[in-house]
């Protein structure tokens, strides 16, 4: 089991990039950030005690997001990545207002890339119910969806399937077919994965939509954005800086560790984060 060099310091995330999601989905973003920024320390929190966020109200998700942000900042993080479309839609504006001195990077449905790619003039977006209810989604479609048809399809229950490790089971496939086939019938040629859990089932999605539909995962673009923001702030870690990854979950750490290996991540120690009312404790 790889050890990390962070556990000895008192504030475990001093100078680190803090990343969070409702569960394992944000690990798809963490992977891309690790690839783009090998020298950075990364702190990850998966709020598995509250997953899924998608069916909850934006207000409730905003509350969790503020609690997690506070906890990551208390650990010394220099930048926060909201590696969850739902939490970004619910809370990005308000955490920026609450902490104007902190750089935040959030997820935004990659409608722009889909529109740049389409030849049929029809693109699809899949996300959680809450993401589609947000002002952020409406503004993305208004800004980038001009002149094309943007079909949006919530996928209730898909995050639960993924958190249960059901990446390629008959039930997950039939759920996805039920959502994707009507969009295929309307000739989409680009599909935006606007939930960070969905890239985990990308092979299944690609099998269903076939080679003529481009599947778009914004994680590499988010990683580039994190790099740009750190560069601009003069806060990139030095090449020889001690990097490392620390992980917390608010649910059972051993289950989280197993899920990580299922999605091709090395086995690492996972710590338990504890919610006490609206305050999250990471230690
Ligand atoms: N990964 C979260 C997102 O990007 C999943 C939301 C959920 O927990 O339902 O939206």
From the CA of 68, how far away is ligand 1's center (Å)? 15
- Per-residue model confidence as pLDDT tens digits over 23-34: 999 999 999 999
pLDDT at residue number 263: 87
Which CATH code is given to the segment(s) 111-217? 3.40.50.1860
Instruction: Give me the residue spans of the domains in the chain.
Output: 9-107+220-282, 111-217
So what's the pLDDT on residue 10? 67
- Any ligand 1 atom below 6 A from CB of 222: no
pLDDT score for 13: 83
Please name the residues in contact with 218: beta carbons below 8 A apart, sequence gap of 6 or more.
107, 108, 109, 110, 113, 192, 193
Are the beta carbons of 29 and 83 closer than 8 angstroms?
A: yes
* Nearest residue by C-alpha to atom 2 in ligand 1: 84
Same fold, 9-107+220-282 and 111-217: yes
For residue 263, the CA-to-ligand 1 centroid distance in Å is 16
Distance 160 CA to ligand 1 centre (A): 10
> 9-107+220-282, what's its fold?
Rossmann fold (3.40.50)
User: For residue range 23-76, what is the model confidence (pLDDT) as tens digits?
Assistant: 999 999 999 999 999 999 999 999 999 999 999 999 999 999 999 999 999 999
What length is written for the chain? 283
Cβ(84) – ligand 1 distance below 6 Å:
yes
pLDDT of 273 reads 97
Active-site positions?
84, 195
Query: What pLDDT does residue 7 have?
Result: 45
Ligand 1 within 6 A of CB of 195 = yes
Q: Where are the alpha helices (DSSP H) in 99-217?
A: 111-117, 129-133, 135-144, 158-163, 170-185, 202-209
Those residues of the chain that have pLDDT short of 70 are 1-10
pTM score: 0.94
């Amino acid at each position: 089991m790889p050890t990390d060099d962070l556990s000895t310091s008192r504030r475990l995330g001093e100078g680190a990039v803090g990343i969070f999601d409702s569960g394992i989905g944000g690990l798809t973003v963490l992977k891309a950030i690790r690839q783009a920024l090998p020298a950075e320390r990364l702190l990850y929190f998966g709020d598995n005690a509250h997953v899924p966020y998608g069916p909850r109200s934006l207000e409730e998700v905003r509350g969790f997001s503020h609690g997690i942000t506070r906890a990551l900042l208390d650990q010394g993080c220099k930048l926060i990545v909201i590696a969850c479309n739902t939490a970004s839609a619910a809370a990005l504006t308000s955490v920026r207002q609450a902490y104007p001195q902190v750089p935040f990077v959030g997820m935004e449905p990659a409608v722009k890339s889909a529109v740049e790619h389409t030849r049929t003039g029809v693109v699809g977006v899949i996300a959680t119910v809450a993401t589609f209810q947000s002002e952020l989604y409406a503004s993305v479609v208004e800004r980038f969806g001009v002149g094309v048809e943007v079909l949006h399809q919530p996928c209730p229950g898909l995050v639960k399937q993924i958190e249960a490790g059901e990446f390629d089971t008959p039930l997950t496939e039939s759920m996805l077919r039920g959502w994707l086939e009507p969009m295929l019938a309307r000739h989409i040629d680009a599909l935006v994965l606007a939930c960070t859990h969905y890239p985990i089932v990308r092979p299944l999605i690609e099998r269903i939509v076939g080679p003529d539909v481009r599947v778009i995962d914004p994680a590499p673009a988010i990683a580039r954005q994190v790099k740009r923001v750190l560069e601009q702030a003069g806060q990139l870690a030095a090449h020889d800086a001690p990097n490392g990854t620390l992980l917390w979950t608010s649910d059972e750490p051993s289950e989280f560790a197993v899920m990580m290996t299922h999605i091709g991540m090395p086995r690492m120690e996972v710590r338990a984060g504890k919610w006490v009312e609206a305050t999250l404790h990471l230690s």
